Chain A
Amino acid sequence: MTRSFNTSTDLPVTLEPRYQGPDELGFSRWLGRMPVWVLPLIAAVFLIWPTVVEAQTVYSAQKIMDIMAKWLPLLITQGFLMNVIISFFTMLFGTIAGLFLGLGRVSDNSGIRGFSWLVVQLFRNSPWLVLLFIVMLTLPFEIRIAGTYIAVPDWMKAVFGLSLPIMANLAEIVRGAIQSVPSAQWEAAESLAFSKRQIMWQIILPQCFKRMIPPWMNWYAIMTMATPLVSLLGVTELVTLSRQAMEAEGNNPSLLMPFFGFALIIFFAYCYPIARLTLRLEKKYAVKG
């Protein structure tokens, strides 16, 4: 008697859920999977919109177009470019600080480990806006370096405010990546008489580097989407300028759609390729086996 048919014994109690807890690439995965035609579709909706509302308002579609054409160059060069600059610097500071904080999380010294844990918890769990407010107000408007006063512009303070949560979240990515390197690597390197510091910087971190890039880019996209928050603190960027422009044009409600619609499209157009690239890299760097 044999039972040669269909004898798999490892039957799942539950299927793997598609949204398995907090996915570290959730945002990019979602954005990157969107078909390319979504962008022109959104653009079309906001172009057609003025024509649709024309009947209800004093503004003709032509007039709305003229107003938009007048403001667009400013919105891009003074507005969105500012969001991009803020996001670059935020990422720069957040990455450097996050790397060291992440190293602190895996330090041999329990004091450093505990302190890093506390910092990560505090800045991951507080609202970004609260951090922004606190940093904007506590940082001086100028700093004294070697006898000369250097003004700290508002947007630079905003960069520091946004860097804090980014630092804490990137620290967790660094820690996760370091801990994912098999401990045999440490032992092998130790047996070759490398020092602890050498092992970390020359052997472990280079291995983690590729693994960290996709989640790192994912956080870049999330943070870029959060840059309009700084408009609440009076920093000049796209949303601040859009609201000022609408005010200058008499705050007509029919301007809300085209202005906010433009903000939407430009953020989308910027983040979408990043998300696509993130997913490509994730696939490329996926650990085999």
Chain B
Amino acid sequence: MIETIQDFFRTMADTYPKWNFIFFHEPAQWDRVVSGFFVTLQLSVACVILSVIIGIVGAWAQGSPSRTIRWIVQGYIQFFRNTPPLIQLLFFYFALGQFTPTVTGPDGWTEQPIISNVGWAIISLSFFAGAFNVEIFRSGIEAVPKSTLEAAESLGFTRAQTYTNITFPLALRVSLPALNNNLINLVKTTTQAIAIAVPELLYEMVSIWNDYASAQNAAMAVLFFTYIALVGVLAFGMNRWEAKLLVPGFGKARR
């Protein structure tokens, strides 16, 4: 089966020299694409989870009675929303990367920083998307009427019980459309990790077409449609979730 596919693309490369899908008939190149894809997936999943956690914690901290904490969160949001993510990446990796300690690598003699470039990409992109998530979740929480929470209080719910049973499920429903948008944007932004040489899909594809000029068109086409598919899957999943959580008379259904 695999041989047939490889033969097909090898013949295709011979017939149309400009469309050499080299990664479909050369296992070494296929491995590069797969590893790049998984780094992109890893970046996306890690950043989505981390940025959502940052969003929840930040939104909770914004309701803090301490003015200092509120100012810190506000400052964080302002900084990360206003600056291009590319400059954030460069800043995190080059400026902050200077100050992190190093450890001896697995080979026993090279010194490696504790946080790799992949690590910095995850941190930087998570903080970038997290800044938007804080705002998204906060407005979701604000959209829950105080009187509904009062009803829960009068039924004997504790603060924590009210938060987990009432506030959070309702705030989530309000936040989902905006969250959806932001996470899609986050997945698209992971490509910028190429700036600090993170071997993700774009990086691997660019190196393949640099190595094999004949593979350029093929690599571009595959790259383009892989991202469309990735974003499509995420959007589809989020929309399904949104539809599943939709309750009559609340949120979207009202308009």
Residues of A within 8 A of B (CB): 12-22, 30-31, 34, 38, 122, 125-130, 133-134, 137-138, 225-226, 228-229, 231-232, 239, 253, 256-257, 260, 263-264, 267-268
Contacts and interface: CB of A to CB of B under 8 A. Distances in A.
B91 A268 contact: no
Nearest to B96: A256
Given A13-B250, A129-B194, A130-B223, 10 more contacts: A16-B143, A126-B227, A127-B190, A127-B191, A127-B227, A128-B191, A138-B217, A229-B84, A239-B86, A264-B87
B45 interface: no
Interface in B174-229: 174, 177-178, 181, 184, 188-192, 194-195, 202, 206, 209, 216-217, 220, 223-224, 227-228
Interface of B is mostly: helix
Contacts of A15: 142-145
A38 to B, nearest CB: 8
A126 B174 contact: no
Interface in B117-154: 135-136, 138-140, 142-145
Contact of B139 (A18, A31, A228, A263): A18
A264 B83 contact: yes
The 7 closest A-B pairs by CB, nearest first: A19-B139, A17-B143, A127-B188, A129-B191, A127-B191, A21-B177, A256-B95
A61 B249 CA distance: 62
Interface of B: 78, 81-84, 86-87, 90-91, 94-95, 98, 135-136, 138-140, 142-145, 170, 174, 177-178, 181, 184, 188-192, 194-195, 202, 206, 209, 216-217, 220, 223-224, 227-228, 231-232, 235, 249-251, 254
Nearest to B249: A13
A138 B202 contact: no
A253 B177 CA distance: 41
Contacts of A127: 188-191, 202, 227
Contacts of B231: 125-126
Given A12-B145, A22-B177, A268-B82, A17 B227 contact: no
A22 B179 CA distance: 9
Interface of A is mostly: helix
A118 to B, nearest CB: 11
Contacts of A264: 82-83, 87
Nearest to B255: A20
Nearest to B232: A125
A31 B78 CA distance: 9
Contacts of B83: 264, 267
Contacts of A125: 184, 188, 227-228, 231-232, 235
A61 to B, nearest CB: 17
Nearest to A134: B220
Nearest to B226: A130
A19 B78 contact: no
A80 B195 CA distance: 20
B228 A225 contact: no
Contacts of A239: 86-87, 90
A132 to B, nearest CB: 9
Contacts of B139: 17-20
A232 B194 contact: yes
A126 B188 contact: yes
A231 B90 CA distance: 12
Given A19-B178, A133-B206, A14 B86 contact: no
23 contacts: A14-B250, A14-B251, A15-B143, A15-B144, A16-B143, A17-B139, A18-B142, A19-B138, A20-B139, A21-B177, A22-B177, A30-B81, A122-B228, A126-B188, A126-B231, A129-B194, A130-B223, A130-B224, A133-B223, A137-B216, A226-B84, A253-B94, A253-B98
Given A127-B188, A130-B223, A228-B84, A14 B95 contact: no
